[in-house]
Amino acid sequence: MKEKDLGKDNINKLLISFAIPCIISMLINSIYNIVDQIFIGQGVGYLGNAATNVIFPIVIICTGLAGLIGNGLAANLSLRLGENNKEEAKRSIGAGVILLIIISLLVCLLGEIFLPSLIQFFGCTESVYDYAMSYGRIILIGAPFMIIYSGLASFIRADGSPKYSMFCLLSGAIINIILDPIFIFGFDMGVVGGAIATIIGQIVSCIIAFIYLLKIKSVKMERKDYRLNNSLKRTLSYGMASFIIQMTVLALFIVMNNVMTKYGATTKFGSDIPLSVYGVISKLINVYVSVILGLACGAQPIIGFNYGAGNIKRVKETINKVLKVGLIIGIIFNIGFVFFPKTLVSLFGSSDNALYMEFAVDCCRIFLLVSALNFLEMCSSIIIQSLGNAKKSTAVSFIRQIILFIPLCLILVQFSGLYGALYAAPIADTITFIIVIFILRTEYNKLSQKKVFVDEKEEVVVANTKLKNKIIITINREYGSGGRYIGQLLGKELGLPCYDKNLIDLVAKDSSLSVDYITEHEQTKKNYNGLSNSYNLDDELFISEKKVIEDLAKKDSCIIIGRCADYILKEKSNILKVFIYANEESKVNRAVKYYGLKKKEAKKEIEKINKDRKKHYKYYTDQDWNDLGNYDVCLNSAMGIENCVAALKELIKNKDNC
């Protein structure tokens, strides 16, 4: 699919072409655990299922670490390739691969040492202990392979080989499906057989992923590139959001496992049945979540592209279609959970155990009573991220699990025992649905009235250059310091073009992004630590600005305001890096006079915008924006705008005559 098609082709066709591969990929990630649980449940019974449930937090930890490094590496690679910085891309790949190996081996080693304590913490009971230890020991042997292939799969997608990435995941899953019944039933190995089948599939996926390292598309790797280096700092920062989300899932799982065992012990079901049933229910939920998130992630590039291009009509059309399809999918799954619980639960075995089936049916019907409503939370999180607000997106994903469900669960069990934990889910789902409606409606209404931020009001006409030698002057400035005006006056004095707002039009012509989007999003990293595993529209904006700035610097002398130009052009010998700052009183007075703000508003606006500039600069340069040591000249504009201009003019003329 060509990028330009995103702005023109039929939305339905685009959604199908993007969403189906996403759904398949996400379902593949669920297959390993679901298949194991189905065959182990059929072959061993509910105690075997309880064992896999106790070990599942280890799988979540492995997935989180793989996402931390793999998604971070994918984002870092995409950004470096967008900058055409292949050397840094190689360093990122090499360091990421080595860190994956080191972390995976540490997880294996520490997991084997502390497994008895871990499974107790994860809610293991005495009856399940031996099963969990047998299953867990083998799963931990395969943990390095799981972490490595999962992490590399994200990198492979970012390298432009999504089909190979899917093949890598699918191959292991198919082998696991084939071997599970052979080891569990044919060799009568029970949970041990299920674990062995799982790690064999993981080993195959890992080998296929490693083979790809020999034929990476984007760069040619050498042995010396595979070493730890400081590129990991960026990689880990880019992948942190996905890791945090996995840790919230881990927290939820641990709380529920312990609630099931503790409060189940006071009922006729005992501790083991609720523990096992919750594991089964969580796998059913996982299938539903995979389909909804696959749909939303498939829509993400369509929404993001058209939002960046200013095509709000197509953005709204895509959002509407995603929400409609998501609702239909949610209703279908909800009907299955509530009206056919016996059929679904029986897939995982123990259908002849009356107590088990009684609680399983109750759990399915109560816990998933209004699960159809969950579609809105999951879709909204991805949609809001696509609109450039990763922080709000992450907050939406936390509302149900952390803010509502866990507290409700811990409160209700005090009054209603075991069933209180089940009723916590539909209550949390309903409240979350109402909250997210308001959040999404607010974002939806903003689409037609996007704010265009105006930094300063002064305009200066440019004359012809008066310098003998070529020079590039970059000016970073605190908001309210008058740095932009200083740049424009200096340009007039020296006859140099000064690029600030006029650079926005150049970037818009060079990219698919609209002027409004660029104006609103440049020099502020709104998608910091976003959830996606590749660079987003903010990164595309930075890359486009970088290209325009480099082209301007090649042509002639000029002044460039902000936009990390000092860092982008750092290798040039004819650059003068300037930083303009001022004391708070001076900045506030200027904001009141020129920007029409009240004094209190001015203080807040100065703090907010300078914080945004600092974060944006740190994200793309890994340096501190207000570290005066990064600049050649630092001036306090409180000494007077004209005096600053005169000082810079004198310095540049002296340098020009040398």
The average pLDDT across 285-296 equals 90
- What letter does residue 7 receive in the DSSP assignment? G
Residue 21 to residue 28: CA distance in whole angstroms: 11
pLDDT band at 464 (very low <50, low <70, confident <90, very high): low
**Terminal CA-CA length for the chain:** 55
- Name the H helices within 353-470: 354-367, 374-386, 390-398, 406-416, 418-446
pLDDT band at 459 (very low <50, low <70, confident <90, very high): very low
499 φ/ψ angles, rounded to the nearest 5 degrees: -105, 120
Specify the pLDDT at position 267.
95
Residue 566 to residue 183: CA distance in whole angstroms: 62
Is the CB of residue 567 less than 8 Å from the CB of residue 578?
no
Residue 273 CB partners (closer than 8 Å, separation 6+): 46, 264, 353, 355, 356, 359
Residue 483 to residue 361: CA distance in whole angstroms: 67
Mean pLDDT (the chain) is 87
Is the pLDDT at 521 greater than 80? The verdict is no
Specify the pLDDT at position 448.
64
Cα dihedral 184, 188, 190, 192 sign: negative
- Name the H helices within 447-555: 483-494, 501-510, 515-521, 537-555
Closest CA to 496 of 459, 462, 460: 462
Which of 80-84, 338-342, 493-497 bottoms out in mean pLDDT, i.e. has the lowest? 80-84
Specify the pLDDT at position 33.
72
How many other CB atoms are there within 10 angstroms of residue 444's CB atom?
17
pLDDT band at 527 (very low <50, low <70, confident <90, very high): low
Q: What is the pLDDT of residues 225-281, one digit of tens each?
A: 999 998 898 888 888 877 888 898 899 999 999 999 999 999 999 999 999 999 999
Return the top range by mean pLDDT from 107-111, 304-308, 649-653. Answer: 107-111
Specify the pLDDT at position 445.
82
Specify the pLDDT at position 281.
94
Specify the pLDDT at position 101.
96
Q: Dump the DSSP string for 204-265.
A: HHHHHHHHHGGG-SS----GGG-S--THHHHHHHHHHHHHHHHHHHHHHHHHHHHHHHHHHT
Is the pLDDT at 32 greater than 90? The verdict is no
Is the pLDDT at 30 greater than 80? The verdict is no
Residue 627 CB partners (closer than 8 Å, separation 6+): none
Is the pLDDT at 309 greater than 50? The verdict is yes
Is the pLDDT at 315 greater than 90? The verdict is no
Is the pLDDT at 451 greater than 50? The verdict is no
Return the top range by mean pLDDT from 151-165, 359-373, 624-638. Answer: 359-373
What's at 282, amino acid-wise?
S
pLDDT band at 512 (very low <50, low <70, confident <90, very high): low
Residue 411 CB partners (closer than 8 Å, separation 6+): 420, 424
Is the CB of residue 558 less than 8 Å from the CB of residue 499?
yes
Specify the pLDDT at position 572.
87
- Give percent of the chain with pLDDT exceeding 70: 93
Residue reference for tokens 């047998």: 134
Is the pLDDT at 402 greater than 60? The verdict is yes
Q: Which residues, listed in sequence order, are joined to residue 559 by a DSSP beta bridge?
A: 473, 498
Pull the structure tokens for residue 182. Answer: 């052979």
Is the CB of residue 82 less than 8 Å from the CB of residue 74?
no
Specify the pLDDT at position 626.
85
Specify the pLDDT at position 77.
84
Residue reference for tokens 């690679």: 77
What domains can be seen in the chain, in order of their start residue?
A: 55-259 (no CATH), 265-449 (no CATH), 472-657 (3.40.50.300)
Residue 57 CB partners (closer than 8 Å, separation 6+): 118, 122, 250, 253, 254, 257
Residue 523 to residue 614: CA distance in whole angstroms: 9
Which of 35-49, 111-125, 444-458, 623-637 bottoms out in mean pLDDT, i.e. has the lowest? 444-458
Residue 278 CB partners (closer than 8 Å, separation 6+): 53, 256, 257, 260, 363
Is the CB of residue 157 less than 8 Å from the CB of residue 74?
yes
Is the pLDDT at 410 greater than 90? The verdict is yes
Which of 27-36, 53-62, 318-327, 615-624 bottoms out in mean pLDDT, i.e. has the lowest? 27-36
Q: Where does residue 438 rank: exposed (0-12), middle (13-18), buried (19+ CB within 10 A)? A: exposed
The average pLDDT across 101-108 equals 96
Is the pLDDT at 594 greater than 70? The verdict is yes
pLDDT band at 388 (very low <50, low <70, confident <90, very high): low
Residue 506 CB partners (closer than 8 Å, separation 6+): 499, 548, 552
Return the top range by mean pLDDT from 194-208, 385-399, 451-465, 485-499. Answer: 194-208
- Give percent of the chain with pLDDT exceeding 90: 48
What's at 110, amino acid-wise?
L
Is the pLDDT at 43 greater than 70? The verdict is yes
* Pairing assessment for the beta strands 633-636 and 558-561 based on DSSP bridges: unpaired
| pTM exceeds 0.75 | yes
Specify the pLDDT at position 463.
46
Specify the pLDDT at position 396.
82
- What letter does residue 368 receive in the DSSP assignment? T
For 603-630, b/e burial (b = at least 16 CB within 10 A) is bebbeebbebbebbbebbeeeebeeeeb
- Greater pLDDT, 134 or 311: 134
Is the pLDDT at 130 greater than 90? The verdict is yes
The average pLDDT across 214-229 equals 90
Cα dihedral angle (648, 649, 654, 657), rounded to 10 degrees?
A: 140
Query: CA 38 → CA 146, 341, 543, distances in Å?
Result: 20, 15, 47
Q: Which residues, listed in sequence order, are joined to residue 577 by a DSSP beta bridge?
A: 474
